[in-house]
Structure 1
């Protein structure tokens, strides 16, 4: 089969289309003919610095996949050949990723693809959706009527987080850099749009909440955004970040306000081999597939590339200006 191999850590040019052996499913696994693979910032980070398992080089990147079940293991009970599925599994260096024509994945970790969207849209969903779900609903304990500040609302995680927050019954403020992105997040349901380049987002958030601060701030950017968000959160409120806090972070404001700090890394179950967590991811995707088919949740694919152009897709993502998601179309070569 064809697959894009990461031959070494480095620039996008280390991603090379090559022929590799087609995998064989284990007893509880599905063999999936991949139709599309989502691209995420973790892919570009691993490409630049190396995977979590450097002894397993060369590696196939790509955590997000969508495709058609081609064969099933002897003990598979829930799926059969011909089923359309989507999932977030592989791509960290231990198990093969989804920049390939085929992959294998345990049936417990996948969900049936939403019927109302394309494979490209389905492949764009899993990682960002699970991240936003866990950050808002589980780490941040968002409740109906809460006010939340979501940074970078037009981004991959952000544009899904806005919709999940609205589905929970929360009010949403979000930061953007342009009028086009403001229009985009407004269509998704954002109640307050903050142009962070022209406006102090903390003051804008305090004005929006009558000086009290939001119940939950969600940092999808990293750097100093985490620390800068502390004054925008109410006393005893929550802050969740998907990035590792900087060693230079000053926690005084967070401590004085008794903020609850949540760290969200949806890759944890994959990294630790936690089957219960991976199974939970499958359950999240199944619930969200229902919402997608009901028209309550939308995913925005900004651009697609053929599998052979994975390097160009990485280059685009690394510009930092992408709205929504980028997807590889596996058979568009």
Structure 2
């Protein structure tokens, strides 16, 4: 099969097409003929050498795929040959075939193309577990989502709005504003022109927001603390602008704040499977009714992976970038 290898740590140009043997599914895995794969920032971090795959995972980048089940392990009960699925994987997504634990696979929603479905798993798993489990976001609350134009952001806006949350978001370019409003954001903050702390304080009668989903870090951290309401929750999922920050613990104590965060890739199969079940119960019905859709910015061929990474790192996209393998 054709795969995309990281030939050495570096820029997008280190991604090269190579040939490898087709994998074989273990007892509780399925073999998926990949039709499309999602591109995510952790893929770029892995390429740069700062986010190595966990022990036992494929060194091939790619954390989400969609396609056809063409073989099943001896103990698989959920899926059969011929089923169309999307799946969260720990690696191996930039290829023509991949194996995935049966519990990390989900049916392609009704009426959705396989290309669209490839943009679901990584962001939907991430947003659900961080916003609604760790962040305990509830109907009627307020949330500030940083990076509203990205894959995580466009997913989080839709998911939160569909469940009755007031959604505010930050974006860097004016072209993304209307997209975020159409997805369900009540207010889109142009962070280069506006102070998000002041804006959310105005929108909430000076109370602040209940939850913040942040992938920026750096100097956003102190401002996030200021923007949170009493008993607010800050959920950190990446540190694009720096991981080292200073914290005035008195502000955490006075506001009774919760500071939390997570990564998804290294979690055990059982935990990821539980998240998949929660998505199937709570979010898949909305996808099946076309009440929620992944936003696709660009579809490229597998061999254009380097171009996809350059596009991702330029941060000019709105939504997801997807690679097609066939």
Could you say which TM-score interval applies, normalised by the shorter chain? Answer: over 0.9
What SS is found at the alignment partner of 1:164? helix
Question: Considering only aligned residues, what root-mean-square deviation do their CA atoms show, in Å?
Answer: 1.9
Match of 1:276 in 2: 270
Contact 1:6 1:58 in 2 (8 A): no
Contact 1:152 1:175 in 2 (8 A): yes
Match of 1:227 among 209, 219, 222: 222
Match of 1:188 among 160, 163, 183: 183
Contact 1:224 1:249 in 2 (8 A): no
- Provide the aligned length of Structure 1 versus Structure 2: 322
**What's the TM-score, normalizing by structure 2?**
0.93
- Give deviations 1:69-126, integer Å, cap 9, x for gaps: 01112221111111001111121xxxxx111111111212211111321111111111
Shift of 1:170: 1.0
Match of 2:280 in 1: 286
Shift of 1:276: 1.9
Deviates more, 1:234-243 or 1:53-62: 53-62
Distance 1:246 1:106 in 2: 32
Contact 2:42 2:51 in 1 (8 A): no
Query: 1:198–1:50: structure 2 CA closer, same or farther, 3 Å change rule?
Result: closer
Match of 2:2 in 1: 2
Contact 2:68 2:82 in 1 (8 A): yes
Distance 2:222 2:148 in 1: 18
What SS is found at the alignment partner of 2:98? strand
Match of 1:85 in 2: 85
Match of 1:215 in 2: 210
Alignment of 1:171-182 (within 5 A): 171-182=166-177
What SS is found at the alignment partner of 2:314? coil
Gaps of 5+ in 2: none
Match of 1:76 in 2: 76
What SS is found at the alignment partner of 2:197? helix
Shift of 1:58: 8.8
What SS is found at the alignment partner of 2:270? helix
Match of 2:297 in 1: 302
Contact 1:151 1:218 in 2 (8 A): yes
Gaps of 5+ in 1: 92-96
What SS is found at the alignment partner of 1:159? helix
